[in-house]
Amino acid sequence: MLTKEERKNLSTQFWIQFDLYCETLPELNGVKKKWILHDTKISHIDLKFDLSKNSAIVAIEINHKSEFRRLQAFEQLERYRSLINEGFTADLTWDFCYLNVNEQEVCRVYIEKIGVDLYNQTDWKEIQQFLATNMLSMQTNFLEIQDSLKEELNALLRDS
């Protein structure tokens, strides 16, 4: 059993190694800012990496405090389902009521790899490959719809 400090150190080491791994990918080589994550230009919508003792997740997360607004944004996102799903080797999960690590209800579109452990260094290569490959697809697909989605969500707010 690992101590809190050991878990923190392993997590830090993993993300350092992940950055180095990403530098080896031709799609990211020489790109100063690799991932948009929280900088989606759409309020309350983020791209996320989630790692745990049991799994790795790449997701689009809608985290508005208002359930009504969250569901509105999720409905708009669903209109682009076929575009968002492009390029993935497995089906994405579309969950309008996902409980995140902070016990908050969010809407999520994600792909998950079960059976990998952040705290087991022998899993790191597999996790890194999963995260990078799937975030590249998720981010590329999101950027394709970003402007239209932003306009539609802004129009919804004006009309409400």
Q: Per residue in 5-31, pLDDT tens?
A: 999 999 999 999 999 999 888 887 766
pLDDT, one tens digit per residue, over 99-148 is: 988 899 999 999 999 999 999 999 999 999 999 999 999 999 999 999 99
CA distances, 5 to each of 49, 90, 116 (Å): 21, 35, 21
Q: In Å, what is the CA distance from 40 to each residue of 16, 113, 153?
A: 23, 24, 13
* Tokens of residue 1, six digits: 């059993």
Its pTM stands at 0.92
